Each structure stands twice: as C-alpha cells, then as structure tokens.
A and B are shown apart, each in its own frame.
Chain A
Amino acid sequence: MKYFRRVGVSVPLLLAISLGVFGLIHLIPGGPMAVYLSSPGVRPEDLARLTRALGLDQPLWRQYLQWLGGFVTGEWGFSFSDGRPVIDRVAERLPATIELMGASIVMALVATAPLGIIPAVGRGWVSRGLSIVSFAGISLPVFWFGLVLQLVFAIGLGWLPSSGRTTPGDGGAMDRLAHVLLPAAMLGAVHAAAWARYLRASIADTLEQPFVNAARARGVPPGLVLARHALRPALLPALTIILLDAALMVAGTVVTESVFAWPGLGSLFTEALARRDYTVLMAMLMLASTAVVACNLVADLLYPLLDPRVRA
C-alpha cells in the first residue's frame, strides 16, 4: 500500500514539471516557428500551412494535452531541424550516453572507495590529504576540469584522444576505452568527491554505534570490524545518494559531451538548443526530469528492502 502511495506522488509531480517545460518552451521568442521565419524563401502561405500542420493554431491547452498524450505514448513529434521522429534521434544517441555514464560511474566508484574509507578510519596526513581532495572535488567547475584533462593527457602528453567516441576506421575495444577515459573522469569527478564525503560521514557514524563497540570489545580485529560490521550499514545511505546522483549525471553529460565532442544525448541537447529545435528540447527536458523522479522513487522503494531496520 505504502508503495502505491509513493508512486502516486510521482504522477502529479511529473504533471507539474510537464506544465513548466511546456510553458517555458512556448515563451521562446518567435515561438516554435522561429526557425522557419529566418530562413530565406519562405512564403507567408507556407508558414500558415506549416502552423496548421503542426497544430500550432490550436489553443494552448489543447496543444499541451496533445503533446502530453504524445509524450506518454512515445509519440514525441518530429525534429524541427531534420524532420525525423524525435524518439529516433534520442534512441540513436542513447547508447553513447549510457556508455559514458556507465564508465564514469565505474571510475567514480573506484575513486570513492579509498577517498571515503581511509579518512573515516585513519588519522594521519594521508587521510587528511584525501579528505581535502574530496572537499576540493565537490567544488570543481566540471567544464574547466574537462579542459585541464584534455590539456594534460590529450594535448600535452598525447596519451589519450582529445575528442570523439572512436577513431574513424578503428573502433576496437581498446580504441573505445581510450576515448571514454577522459570524458568519464570528467563526468565522474564531482560525483566521486560527493559520494566519498557521504561514505566517510556514514562510516564515521556507524563506528560510534554500540554494536561496533561490542564487536571491538569481543576482540574482533579492526579490519574485520570495518569490513563486517561498519561497512555494510554505512554503504546503505551512500547507495541511495549514488542512485539519486545517477539521474543528475544526465545534466553533467551536456557539459562533458560538449567538451569532448561525445555524440550522445548531451550533445543532442546543445544542438537542439542552438537550432531552437523545440520538440527535441521539450522531450529531453521531460526525459531528464522523469529520470530524476524515477531514480528518487527507486531509491525510496529500495531502501527498506536493503535495510531491515526501516522495514517495519
């Protein structure tokens, strides 16, 4: 029952977001037809025909309902810049973005473990240094960090390619790995830093719990206390944060894909914005928000399953 209520809250939330997105896009000066107004050789009667064909002569509320109904059923309309179905354009870009996000989550997790665990248990300069690194990390301007990575590893040292997803004519596994490393590091850095800070706080909290003291008193060696008693409950809050952040990563891909010319959804968004391709923009804003709401929901529902203490 409780689950149904949680799901029930998400629906009005998404409706409110859809209203906002629709309203925002319809405020763009010149409206959806702006693209055609500026192109030479367009006659007024063509414009009128197009307006009718696209349903733009209908009252706004009807346009909204039609658009919303279409969005829910997968009819996302046609791209204004090349006339192809929006859903096709999104679908062809999706694999690249999933590859980038997957790689960046893996890299971020690899960095999170030492950055989060060592400062939580250690006292020396290494753990202090690591906690400074993660503090600086959350303040990092991502776009600049990307440029620095490009400057050092691609332009300076020449170890890795500076842009794109594959080398034309190559595209083997090693080639793709080489291409994904820098953008994934750029996208993952801020998240790794944030996750590490949560993990550290969460471990530090758990280490003060009575059951940890009890385990220590029984003579369980420190390493085992950490691994068996402290880490597992501490991972739970961290896991929720990671899930919530995964949705926010979608926004990060816009910057990352622009710096590294990665052909994914993020570049599609910037291209659509530059061309005022409003069907694509609306669909993408809705998709990103739906992803955030969905991840929130999953995190909420998953938590009691993972933590028996909250199940009651």
Chain B
Amino acid sequence: MRRGRLAAAVLLLLIVAALLAPWLASGAADTMDLANRRAAPSLSHWFGTDELGRDLLARVFFGARVSLAVGLLSALVAGALGVSVGAASGFFGGGVDAVLMRATDAVLSVPRLLLLMAAAAVVQPSVPVLVLLVGGIGWMETARVTRAAFLQSRDREFVLAARAAGASPVRVILAHLLPNASGPIIVSMTLAVGRGILLESALSFFGAGVQPPTASWGNMLYQAQTTMSTEPWLALFPGLFIFITSVAVNALGDSLGEASVSERRAPA
C-alpha cells in the first residue's frame, strides 16, 4: 500500500509538472542560449543544454506533456476497446466469444512493437493518430480480464434476478456486470498506461513517432543518440524520466491489483 501511494504521488508530481510546463519553464524550452550550447548540467541549467542552447530541463517538462498524454489517452482508447470486446465476449458467449477471443489471440501473437512500427509507416502519425495506434494494439489484456470477470458473475443471483426482472442486455452489462469487473479493468488499464508510454517512446526513438519540433521523451532520445559521446546528458535525462514514470505506473498497477484481490477475498 505504501508503495502504491508513493507511486501515485510521483505520477501526480509528473502530471502537475507537465501541466504547469508553460509557466514553470516559460519560453526556456525554445529560447536559444547560443553562448551556452551543449553545456553540461550546472546550477543555471540543471540538466544541461542541447545543440541549440535550449534548456534540457524545460524540454523534459514539455516532453512530459506529450509522453504522458499519449500514455493516458491511449490507455483510455485501449480500455474502451478492450471492455467492449471483453464484455461482448463474456456476456454473449458461444460463437461471439469464440470469434472475439481468437481475434484477441491473433493480435497478441504479432509482436506489438513490430506491428506499431509497420502501422506507423502506413500513416505518418500525428499525436492524436499515435494515441489511436498505441491504443489500438493495447486492448487485448483488458478484453481478457473483462471477459474473465463477466464469466465469473454472469450466472450469479443478482444478475439472474436483474434478467428475470426484465432488464435489457445493455442494462445488465452496464449496471450489473461492469461495476463488478471494475477492479481488474482498472488494473489492466493502469498497466496499459505504462506500456503506452514505453511504446510511444520506442517508436519515437526510431524517429517514427512524435515529430520535432514537438518534444517527446522518445524523440529527445532519438536526437541525442548521435551526440552521445560528447553530450551524454541529452540521452540520460529523458530516458530517466521514461524509466521513473514506467516504474511508478507499474507499482501503482501492482498495488491496485493487490487491493482488488484482497477486497474480493474479504467476506462481504
């Protein structure tokens, strides 16, 4: 639990920093300090500066806006898709279930990054398109846990009672089955945030994701690769932030998972 709170606090801090970036680092991200190009980290530039003399700390804040937004929004897309597929599969069963689950297996069998890279070659992604792409290959886990949760409660008394009382399938799903599945769904969507951030940065790391001048942590790393032997800080800091975010999201997902399991185990 303590770990979960710490993780949530770190994430909150990152989100606040991202939201406040225009005020915290107003102008600094684009201001070129030509006398201080490629400066190593110092008191005036904590993370150093890049080849145009722009402050790296400010750019990391601005990169956070894009990276976190892609992570969070893509998880929402993945969650909506996954819940729909899993709910249909678990509720209707039979042929619908068989087809949807085989489709889920098929998408899970294609290595995610390769699929994303090929898809990004098809459409030159803007940030909104990137959100859809990353969400579009991240729904499978949510679909599986939603289906499993639906199967568990599909034949329980309160669902049968609702059906007997004449509730429509949509109402049974939304009002009775979905609330009972919310625990595992939230956990899987939390983990999808972390995966989304990693996938976006991996794609941008190949120069195929977020395009400059928009800064994301991934494309900052992409640009830093060529000058790594002389300006290592340009590669170190953006990556460190990807790492910290990803650890925090996974820790949060883990402790939410433990919480939802122990809640279900506790006698009602």
Contacts and interface: CB of A to CB of B under 8 A. Distances in A.
B198 interface: yes
Contacts of B225: 147
Contacts of B229: 155
A47 interface: no
B114 interface: yes
5 contacts: A16-B102, A20-B106, A269-B114, A285-B115, A288-B114
B235 A135 contact: no
A17 interface: yes
B112 A251 contact: yes
A24 B198 CA distance: 23
Interface string B169-207: 000000000000000000000000010001001100110
Interface of B: 102-103, 105-107, 109-115, 117-119, 121-122, 194, 198, 201-202, 205-206, 208, 221, 224-225, 228-229, 232, 235-236, 238-240, 242-243, 246-247, 249-251, 254
Query: Closest 3 A-B residue pairs measured CB to CB?
Result: A144-B239, A251-B111, A139-B246
Contacts of B102: 12-13, 16
A8 B163 CA distance: 37
Interface in A217-258: 247-248, 250-251, 254-255, 258
Interface residues of A, number: 44
Interface string A6-33: 0000001100110011001101110000
Contact of A143 (B111, B202, B254): B202
Nearest to A293: B109
A37 B114 CA distance: 25
A108 to B, nearest CB: 18
A141 B205 CA distance: 11
B122 A24 contact: yes
Given A148-B236, A251-B114, A273-B117, A13 B105 contact: yes
A151 interface: yes
Nearest to B3: A135
Contacts of B109: 13, 17, 289, 292-293, 296
- Name which of B109, B110, B194, B238 has the most chain A CB atoms within 10 A of its CB: B109
Interface in A141-162: 141-144, 147-148, 150-151, 155
Contacts of B235: 144, 147-148, 151
A140 interface: yes
B21 to A, nearest CB: 21
B121 A21 contact: no
A206 interface: no
Contacts of A293: 109
Contacts of A147: 221, 224-225, 228, 235, 239
Given A17-B109, A25-B118, A141-B242, A151 B228 contact: yes
A28 to B, nearest CB: 5
A245 to B, nearest CB: 11
Contacts of B206: 258, 270
A138 interface: yes
B111 A139 contact: no
B252 to A, nearest CB: 11
A27 B121 CA distance: 10
A155 B228 contact: yes
Contacts of A285: 110, 114-115, 118
B71 to A, nearest CB: 12
Nearest to A141: B242
Contact of B118 (A16, A135, A155, A281): A281
Contact of A288 (B110, B122, B202, B251): B110
A276 interface: yes
Contacts of B107: 20
- Name which of A25, A136, A270 has the most chain B CB atoms within 10 A of its CB: A136
A289 B110 contact: yes
Given A139-B249, A151-B236, 15 more contacts: A17-B110, A20-B110, A24-B115, A24-B118, A135-B254, A139-B194, A141-B243, A144-B239, A147-B235, A148-B239, A150-B228, A251-B113, A273-B117, A273-B208, A289-B109
